[in-house]
Copies of this chain bind each other. A is one copy, B any other.
Amino acid sequence: MIGFFRKGSGKAGLPPGTLVHVGEKRAEKVRIDMVGYDKDGVERKSDIPASECRALIGRFNVVWFNITGVHDVDVIGEFGKGMGFHPLLMEDIVHTGQRPKLEDFGEYLFVVLKMLRYDTEAGGLHVEQVSLIIGPGYVISFQETEGDVFDPVRERIQKGKGKLRTLGSDYLAHALMDSIIDNYFVILERFGEITEELQDAVLSEPTPETLKAIHETKRDALFLRKSVWPLREAIRSLEGSESTLMTPAVAPYLRDLYDHTIQVIDGVETIREMISGIMDVYLTNVSNRMNEVMKVLTVIATIFIPLTFIVGVYGMNFKYMPELDWPWAYPLVWLIMVGIGVVMVVLFRRKRWI
C-alpha cells in the first residue's frame, strides 16, 4: 500500500490552479520523450525541452509525448503553459492523489488512471498515477517514474504491427490505457495466488501470521478496488463520449476496454468475497482448535479429579478408619478407581467428546 494515501493538506489555502507536487519526492530530472508517426514512418526524440514541444505537433499524423516524472512543477508548468492547457488540469497531474476520471475540456480530453505494481520485496501494492491528454493529432502521457508498461506500444509503433500506425490519436490513447488495464490482470492473478495460499493455510494450520496476511490482502484488495471502480465510470464516459476526438473506428476497441474493466472489477469483487470467506474459516478453525484443546483438558481433569479425591480420602490420618485395616482394601480401591475411569471414558466416547 505504498503511495496510496497521498497527502494534500499542504495545499490548503492556495488559489486553485497552483501547481503543488503531491506524491513521493524524487531527485531525477523530469524527462520528455516523443514518438511521432504516420503510415510511412516513425521518429523518436528524447529529452526535449518543455518549450519546444508545441512546435512538434502536426509534423506527424500522431505525436506522442511521454513525460517521466511529475515532481518538478516548473517543468510541468512550463510544458502545460506552452501547450495551452487549463491550469486545473495541470494541477491534477502533479497532485498524484486523484481518482481515475475523464474530463472533457472540449479541445482535448483528460484521463487519469492508476498504474499498479505488486512490490514483491516490500510486499504490497505500489500505486502510480498516469495522466493522459488526448488532443487532435497528439497524446501526452505523464508517468511518475520510469516504467516499462508502455514498451509494447512503442514496439508496435516501431514495427508497424496492427492498426496503430494507420489510426489516429484516439487509437494510441486506447493502446496506452489498454496496456495499463492489461497490467491489472497480472495483479489480479497475483492476488488469486495469494488468496489460494491463504485458503490452504487456514484450512490446514492457521497461525497469527496468517491473520496478518489475510488482513493485509484485504486492505490491498480494498485499494485495488478503489483504483478500478472509478475507472469503469471514466471509460464508460469515454465510450459514450460525443467528443469529435473519438472516431467510430475506435468505438469497438473502447467497448472492449470497458469489458476488460468490468472483468477486473468482477475479479476484485470475487477476491474480496473469497478473502472474507477465508477470514470466517480462519476464525472458525482457530476456535475449533481451541475447543479440541479444551476438550482434552476437560477429559483429563474430569477423570482424575474424582480419583484424586478418593486417594485423598485414604490419605487421612483418622484413628478410626476401619477400611485402612482391611487386607483387600487397597486392591479394591484400585478396582473402584479403574472402574470409575472406564465408565467416564465410555460416557465421553458416547457424547463424542473423544
Contact = CB atoms under 8 A, between A and B. Distances in A.
A53 interface: no
A324 B315 contact: no
A168 interface: no
A247 interface: no
B288 A286 contact: yes
Contact of A300 (B192, B302, B317): B302
B162 A15 contact: yes
A223 B266 CA distance: 11
Nearest to A181: B12
Nearest to A295: B293
Nearest to A353: B293
Contacts of A273: 222
B304 A293 contact: no
A49 interface: no
A186 interface: yes
Contacts of A321: 317, 330
6 contacts: A11-B185, A16-B162, A98-B259, A300-B301, A301-B301, A314-B317
Given A7-B185, A226-B270, A315-B315, 19 more contacts: A5-B267, A7-B189, A11-B185, A12-B183, A12-B186, A15-B164, A18-B162, A98-B259, A101-B259, A203-B215, A211-B285, A211-B288, A293-B298, A297-B298, A300-B305, A308-B309, A318-B323, A318-B329, A320-B326
